[in-house]
Amino acid sequence: MASLSDLPIRDDLRGLSPYGAPQKHVRIQLNVNENTHPIPEAVATDIVASLARAILGVNRYPDREFTELRESLAGYLGHGLTAENIWAANGSNEVLQQILQAFGGPGRTVLGFPPTYSMHSIIASGTGTTWIAGERDAGFELSPATVTRWIEETSPDIVFLCSPNNPTGTPVSLETIAAAYEATSGIVVVDEAYAEFAPDGVESALSLLPGRERLLISRTMSKAFAFAGARVGYLAADPAVTDALRLVRLPYHLSALTQAAAIAALAHAPEMLAMVDDIRTQRDRLLTELPRLGFHAWPSAANFVLFGGVDDPHAVFEALLEHDIIIRDLGIPGHLRVTAGTATETTAFLNALESLQLH
DSSP symbols for 121-164:
HHHHHHTTPEEEE----GGG---HHHHHHHHHHH--SEEEEESS
Residue 23 has pLDDT above 80, yes or no: no
Q: pLDDT value at position 358?
A: 60
Distance CA 145, CA 136 (A): 11
* Residues 6 or more apart in contact with residue 40 via CB below 8 angstroms: 268, 271, 272, 274
Q: Which domains does the chain have, with CATH numbers?
A: 22-38+270-355 (3.90.1150.10), 41-267 (3.40.640.10)
Q: What percent of the chain shows pLDDT beyond 70?
A: 98
What pLDDT is stored for residue 12 in this prediction?
85
Amino acid identity at 3: S
pLDDT at 359 over 60: no
Identify which of 232, 266, 270, 259 has the alpha carbon closest to the alpha carbon of residue 51.
259
pLDDT at site 17: 79
pLDDT at 64 over 80: yes
Residue 357 has pLDDT above 80, yes or no: no
HSE of 264 in the Cβ direction (CA atoms, 13 Å)? 23
* Residue 127: per-residue pLDDT: 96
Give the Cα-Cα-Cα angle 204, 29, 289 (nearest 5 degrees). Answer: 70
Q: Coil, strand, or helix at residue 5?
A: helix
Q: Which pLDDT band, with edges at 50, 70 and 90, does 27 fall under?
A: very high
Contact in structure between 357 and 328 (CB atoms under 8 Å) = no
What residues contact 91, with CB distance under 8 A and at least 6 apart?
220, 222, 231, 232, 233
- Give the model confidence (pLDDT) of 190-217 as tens digits: 999 999 999 988 899 999 999 999 999 9
Q: CA-CA distance, 319 to 325, in Å (whole number)?
A: 9
For the segment 124-168, what is each residue's pLDDT rounded down to a tens digit?
A: 999 999 999 999 999 999 999 999 999 999 999 999 999 999 999
Nearest to 88 by CA among 198, 207, 245: 245
pLDDT digits (tens, 9 = 90+) for 171-191: 999 999 999 999 999 999 999
Span 307-316, pLDDT tens digits: 999 999 999 9
Mean pLDDT of 93-109: 98
